[in-house]
Amino acid sequence: MNNTKSKELFNEGQKHLVGAVNSPVRAFNSVGGKPLFMQRAEGSKIYDVDGNEYIDMVLSYGPMILGHGNEKVIEAVQKQVCTGFTFGASTEDEITLAGMVCDTFPGMDKVRFVNSGTEAVLSAIRLARAYTGKNHILKFAGCYHGHSDALLVAAGSGLATLSIPGSAGVPKEAVQNTLIAEYNDIDSVKKHIEECDDIAAVFIEPIAGNMGVVKPTDEFIKELRTITKAAGILLVIDEVMTGFRSKFGGAQELLGIEADITCLGKVVGGGFPVGAYGARNEIMEMVSPLGAMYQAGTLSGNPVAMAAGISTLSELKTQNPYDKFNAQAATIEKALLAAASANGIELTVNRFGSMINPFFTSKTVTNFEEAQECNTEQFTKFFWGLIENGIYIPPSQFEAWFLCSVLSEEDMSKIINAINNAMKKVNETVTA
């Protein structure tokens, strides 16, 4: 495979970009080698600057659920671009998209659009504290909620990929009110509640997509909802990754729970920078200009992003690809397990709707500690094996793969063939 231009751009990019990237996971540190530089995308495919074609299972880490270049989304975006990029004033499309989101999530009467998932969650922290009058927040080890100071501890994904336990520049005072519990361990939550009467909110990814698609047990997630409600603690569900991904709506409905505050991003913006947080009236009316909790943004509700979001959600509702996602994910899981078995590789696979991830371990992965026990050297060999066979997955053992609605039968055959070839490469390394 020729990666000459990607290597040249990586070397050139290091002069004025930090590590030649604008997000750490793009640096390929955990898988070695030089990062790929992409040039264009269409449908289920993405193409690098050297002309190599890949079936895209990164999908910008989730938002391109319709694939790249959906005609209706392009039409909506082009129409808005010709009308105006940004006004610093309200537009009708903000009202339209807000209605679509609130109608979909039970318990959400009002929503505030922001510019990223990180911004949505940090705003939710402030809102939870304002509403409850309490200061502590509780999160789960391995759940990532963006790079705001208070939640950048035990945060999975990028931090795990780089083996960084936290972050320089985050003072201990910034996290002194942050409590850490173990995912799928309700006793660890109860212990914090018993010991601290100042908890404003519990933050959780309903499906932990930043330690590699880890699902909560039914007992854990439902008891979490019960005990937070009994203690007067808000449950904040971070659906930045899962919102509209595995059903039209969120993971909450599939899990049988309802958040006090829901955070959204990725799919809701159709590939443009959008985040959102929403809740019932009594909570959201704490937000300025109705209440005393201040939060603002010059580009919040950007008209181009709103047009993309409306068109994406409308098309998703029409296509209703969720049964197809489940079937395709099941097929990929079967292929992964069969290829691993044929090559004597220990593997377990977790999936939820259109999200899937193989772990190079024989153990069932239910929390971050178990995820970290995976054989990352084997994953690295597997990653490059897939790349060489035209499949683009996240360059990290701890990131979810994503499916898009335009993934064809031909694409699926290529994915299965690539999995078989890549697993053989892992086996060659193991037996060498």
Closest CA to 384 of 94, 30, 70: 30
Q: What angle do CA 157, 397, 205 make, to 5 degrees?
A: 40
Q: What is the DSSP letter of 215?
A: P
* CA–centroid distance for 166 within its chain: 19
- CA-to-CA distance for 176 and 153, rounded, in angstroms? 11
Identify the sign of the CA torsion 290, 269, 183, 376.
Answer: negative
Identify the sign of the CA torsion 282, 229, 226, 187.
Answer: positive
Q: How far apart are the first and last CA of the chain?
A: 23
Marked catalytic residue, from 144, 183, 322, 392: 144
Q: Are 392 and 55 in contact (CB under 8 A)?
A: yes
> Helices 409-431 and 322-342, interaxial angle, to 10°?
30
Marked catalytic residue, from 48, 56, 93, 238: 238
Closest CA to 235 of 185, 201, 188: 201
- CA-to-CA distance for 360 and 382, rounded, in angstroms? 10
Half-sphere exposure for 312 (CA within 13 Å, toward CB): 32
Which amino acid makes up residue 200?
A
79 is annotated as an active-site residue: no
266 is annotated as an active-site residue: yes
- CA-to-CA distance for 93 and 312, rounded, in angstroms? 13
- CA-to-CA distance for 278 and 264, rounded, in angstroms? 8
Marked catalytic residue, from 247, 266, 381, 425: 266
149 is annotated as an active-site residue: no
Around Cβ 426, how many Cβ atoms within 10 Å?
26
Tokens for 136? 């502590």
- CA-to-CA distance for 383 and 391, rounded, in angstroms? 9
Active site residues: 144, 238, 266
